[in-house]
Amino acid sequence: MNKGNASEPQLVRGLTLGHTVALAIGAVIGNGIFLKSAVMAQSVGSPSWVLAAWVVAGVLSLAGALTYGELGALLPRVGGEYVYLRESYGEALAFLYGWTGFVVTSTGSIAAIGASFATFSASLVPINQVWVHHTYRVFGQSHTWQFGGQQVVAIAAILFFSGVNCIGVAFAGWLQSLMTILKVMGIVLIVGGVFFFSRGATFAHFDSPTGAHGWPGLAAFGTAMLAALWAYNGWNQVAMVSSEVQRPERNLPLALVIGMVIVVFAYLLANVSYLYTLPFGEIASANSTAYRQALPVATKAAQTFLGRYGIPLVSVIFVISTLGTLNACVLTFARVPYAMASDGLFFRCFRHVSSNTRVPVVAIILQAVWSSILAVSGTYDQLTDYAIFAMWIFYALATSSVFILRKKMADKPRSYRTPAYPFLPAAFLIMAVWLVWNTIHTRPLESTCGLAVIALGIPFYAYFRHKARRDGTSDAKQHEVSSLLPMHY
């Protein structure tokens, strides 16, 4: 890594505890809670198993967040998981994580969120025109590619928030706090409206459809969990901006714990409200790849108490929520290629920091360009499936870092330790490995694409490693630059 020439602009610690909590919540609550229940209902076939998948996925995500709290407090450096993997397994695996993130997982997440923003916006403005479409089959599965008004809107949203994040991390943190408050208020409005004003709501809707009382099977339940985990995804993002958080040894784990507890509680309440007010068949036939023109499940629920005003009013809530997550993703994900470039393991331009705004502007801009390309490459569900499979491979590896670093850095003080160690991280690790294995069997196209992208990074690592040795930057450590970051309060 560039050893931090004093003349070069550096990142600043401009994120307060409030900003960081808002980032933890805002990075998670976005679009999945309004969409993914439909796919889950199609997979498991009964209300009880839909709720069970949300609970298990929530507990799993909370376990991961509690483990990341220790890693973030121990290594509060820019890049998050990239740093944990580098310190635990070496720079090769860390590079493959960062490479996969830039090629598909991080940028794919931004693209998917942009696509879902366009889906919600279609309820407010006429953008459903499709100008070009093509259907193809891969691994026996039929897929449709299309380009039209929604894709243009998705790209516009990605570019706008990328521009906003070039202004400065403190401004982006303030905006994140505002949007997180608004999105939580939106969920409260939907849940409260369902329970107090919904017409036709009944607990009889929780009864399973005929023939769907039993265990749906590991494959089906795993598919439902994969959808729920996308909705919970984002708890790891706070760690990526560790070097820009004030008092990270305290605020990082605190923000992760507070944020995830609020998210899990909100998600369970939202899904109980859906099942309380809608027949199960209405949930299963809500907006998804199988029912592209249908209303999202949350919109159907809101219509039961808002009537014809449900679509426009709730669509505004969805749009605000989705944009909040988009802002969080743009803010955090760009820090990983910046960290890689600073280590000499990515293109040098990615490590450029603006002297005025103190943010990695080139990384943000190039991330926006690639995310925009991905936004026109597939549907929302396809994009999330490509991203989430590869994500969980590295989630498992990063979580296992806590065991390795307990030995390698045994003498280093820890302001926070993972509760119920080693059982909590071990449980997360076991579930993550099972989830990856299950996805390989049930989603061959998505898993093959994910593994191919990871493997494609190997020759690129060899190239950057050779270049770093030639330039004399390969032996630098990120803490040498982290220690130079000015404190900004």
Tokens representing residue 228 in the block: 């729920």
Confidence of residue 1 (pLDDT cuts 50, 70, 90): very low
Beta carbons within 10 angstroms of residue 317's beta carbon: 21
| Residue 213 confidence (pLDDT) | 64
Which pLDDT score, from 0 to 100, does residue 482 have? 40
Is pLDDT of 284 > 80? yes
Which domains does the chain carry? 17-482 (1.20.1740.10)
- Cα–Cα nearest to 299, from 43, 123, 447: 123
pTM over 0.85: no
Q: What is the pLDDT of residue 193?
A: 92
pLDDT for residue 40: 92
Q: What was the pLDDT predicted at 4? A: 47
Cβ atoms of 184 and 386 within 8 Å: the answer is no
Per-residue pLDDT for 210 more than 80? no
Give pLDDT, residue 143. 61
Which ranges of 75-148 would DSSP assign to H, the alpha helix?
81-89, 91-100, 106-121
Q: Which of 51-55, 155-159, 292-296, 399-403 has the lowest mean pLDDT?
A: 292-296
pLDDT above 50: residue 177: yes
Mean pLDDT of 381-395: 71
DSSP secondary structure, 159-190, as one string: HHHHHHHTS-HHHHHHHHHHHHHHHHHHHHHH
Share of the chain above pLDDT 90, in %: 34
pLDDT score, position 306:
86
Least confident of 86-90, 144-148, 292-296: 144-148
CA separation for the pair 239, 428 (Å, rounded)? 18
Q: What does the pLDDT read at residue 199?
A: 83
Residue whose entry in the numeric block shows the structure tokens 């069970």: 52
Amino acid 481: pLDDT: 40
Q: What is the CA radius of gyration of the chain?
A: 22
Dig out the tokens for 290 from the structure. 């199988």
Cα separation, 107 vs 303, whole angstroms: 33
- Write out the two tokens for 237: 């993002």
Chain segment 113-143, per-residue pLDDT in tens: 888 788 778 878 888 777 877 676 655 666 6
Compute the mean pLDDT over every residue in the chain, rounded to the nearest whole number: 84
Tens-digit pLDDT profile for residues 227-264: 898 788 888 888 888 888 888 888 888 999 899 999 99
CA 185 to chain centre: 21
Whole-number Cα distances in Å, 91 to 246, 422, 455, 462, 474: 27, 25, 15, 11, 10
> Closest Cα to residue 231, out of 69, 97, 65, 109?
109
Share of the chain above pLDDT 70, in %: 89
Residue 141's pLDDT is 60
Query: What digits encode the pLDDT tens for the residues 60-81?
Result: 888 888 899 899 889 888 888 9
| pLDDT confidence tier of residue 212, bands split at 50, 70 and 90 | low
Cα(310)–Cα(301) distance, integer angstroms: 9
- Across residues 198-206, what is the average pLDDT? 86
* Banded model confidence at residue 340, pLDDT cuts 50, 70, 90: very high
Residue type, 381: D
**Local confidence band at 3 (pLDDT 50, 70, 90 cut-offs):** very low
Query: Which residues does 466 contact at the CB level (< 8 Å), separation at least 6?
Result: none
CB 359 within 8 A of CB 166: yes
Among 93-97, 125-129, 177-181, 307-311, the range with the most confident prediction by mean pLDDT is 93-97
